[in-house]
Structure 1
């Protein structure tokens, strides 16, 4: 009798473990995302809209990895003769409107700004996401599309926030033609990030089930989303920015990538800033100054 009870309890525990693991995996790779209107409202409520509505814009679509369609928008520089471009990749569950807060920064520096909905987000078709690995394939094709649309001799860089930082750094393994990357509050490896969060909440044992569920259910290996691995032979200058009080993705992630990157780089830890809030804490002018000084350093090197 006791043996049967023990087997029943063990079976229930295993079923519960599998169910919880699957649901956690689903929340990672099939997240409930914000609409463009919801993200726009958040930007407005936090006074991050800036001069966005005054800029000339154009929506367009890009044929990305394996035929997946990406919705994009170019925010044109007021200097129409300018040949400087930056592609901004937004964070998890957000969309291209989440990148609005950075547009004034690059407009001040004379850049045309390309914002887009990352795979599975915004106006794009719903699909599983890897938070960097598969999306870097899309970004590589967005980079190629940018050169085709605007000229092979343009000055082109990337800017990424959180998941967008992961995407912007992961694409470097493909050796794209780029002039710089700004990586704001990014993580070094998705598996390690998730495991660390679970461990802090005393549920570290769930990582094995969640990892298995993402692989078996969605064909996504969290360990392969590893921006730090893309830096081993990188030669593109990188500016790392991270909030000192970021508890979601801790500053140690940017510090570790800064230490392992092989190219010219800088690391800025912003006092009092939480996750993805460095620009809010610093203000657009000081944030622009960090990037402007970084560009000057690149020119000197």
Structure 2
């Protein structure tokens, strides 16, 4: 009887050790992704539409780096209208991308007369190496940029938000802490990071879903926050900022149902939901640029006039 018990004990220890190893690796992998270089982003942009980079090179702009709440420096670019405008939009890119990937959205807003601030998420682009906190700190970065805009240009300006994927979720989290935005656009964001990780574990990584819960707990030790605690859905119950939700109808990276759930949970009086047929994750614009532009243009006109 002694030998089988020893064997069982060893197997249990091996199983626990393997689970812990995978959990901590998963937690590290999520918060330390391989990110795009500026050149990578520009190459993708040119494959989509070469005129986008032409727009960026020709438009009036300045490099403006903003320290966040914890003094982490966010590298960004401010696109300014030739004719002075008091309207601004902060555009937050997606996971692993860079500010240059957002130029396709910047052109839409710029043509509508808004000044545009593009920036790199922490741990991305030109920023110093740092963990990507999946919205935990990123939404506070948006608040810091908001404060910087008000401080530099005055309290009379109006500010809107646009975010894609992680940028969308961070945008929604920011709305839980301040409501003085003129509008917000959330393109394919997640509603609940814990639920998303369970989904990703099962359907994309082909791992037991319980490992997502283990990774969330491991993240508390590794990163100081829990994945399960990041819930943009909670920011919707008291929201009154006009919100435009967009997602690809064939998104299987962040399920379409998450955007639909966010739309239903939004307590605001002004909200819209647009699904783009055939579009996968973060490809709504690429699938139909004209429709994407029209959706934003019509929404902005409704909420700003």
| Shift in alpha-carbon separation, 1:48–1:171, aligned structure 2, 3 A | farther
1:63 pairs with 2:67: yes
The answer to whether the 8 Å contact 1:136/1:170 transfers is yes
- Separation in 1 of the partners of 2:274 and 2:123? 30
Contact 1:130–1:225 (8 Å) recurs in 2: no
CA contact (8 A) 2:179 2:239 kept: no
Count of equivalent residues: 298
CA change 1:2–1:36 in 2 (3 A) is same
The residue number in structure 1 matching 2:18 is: 16
Q: Distance between the aligned counterparts of 1:160 and 1:185, measured in 2?
A: 9
Q: Which residue of 1 aligns with 2:95?
A: 92
Unaligned 5+ runs, structure 1: none
2:273 aligns with: 267
Q: Contact 1:162 / 1:185 at 8 angstroms: preserved in 2?
A: yes
Quick one: structure 1 residues 150 and 299, their matched pair in 2 at CA, closer, same or farther if it must change by over 3 Å?
closer
Determine the C-alpha separation between the residues in 1 that align with 2:49 and 2:197.
31
Displacement of 1:95 in angstroms is 1.4
- Residues 165, 282 of structure 2: 8 Å contact kept: yes
Separation in structure 2 between the aligned mates of residue 214 and residue 43 of structure 1, nearest angstrom: 33
Deviates more, 1:184-193 or 1:79-88: 79-88
1:138-177 alignment, distance < 5 Å: 138-177=141-180
Q: How far is the alpha carbon of 1:3 from its aligned partner?
A: 1.6
> In the TM superposition, what is the alpha-carbon distance from 1:86 to its structure 2 partner?
0.6
Of 277, 290, 295, 2:283 maps to 277
* TM-score computed with the length of structure 2 as normaliser: 0.93
Query: Partners in 1 of 2:122 and 2:110 — Cα distance?
Result: 26
**1:253 counterpart = 2:258:** yes
| CA deviation after TM superposition for structure 1 residue 257, in Å | 0.6
Cα distance in structure 1, aligned partners of 2:28 and 2:159: 35
- The ranges of structure 1 where at least 4 consecutive aligned residues each deviate by more than 4 angstroms after the TM superposition are none
How large is the Cα RMSD of the aligned pairs?
1.5
Alpha-carbon offset, residue 48 of structure 1: 6.1
> Which residues of 2 match residues 109-128 of structure 1 at below 5 A?
109-128=112-131
3-state secondary structure, aligned to 1:67: coil
SS at match of 2:292: helix
Query: Could you tell me which residue of structure 2 aligns to residue 207 of structure 1?
Result: 212
Relative to the length of structure 1, the TM-score reads: 0.94
Shift of 1:299: 4.8
Q: What corresponds to 1:133 in structure 2?
A: 136
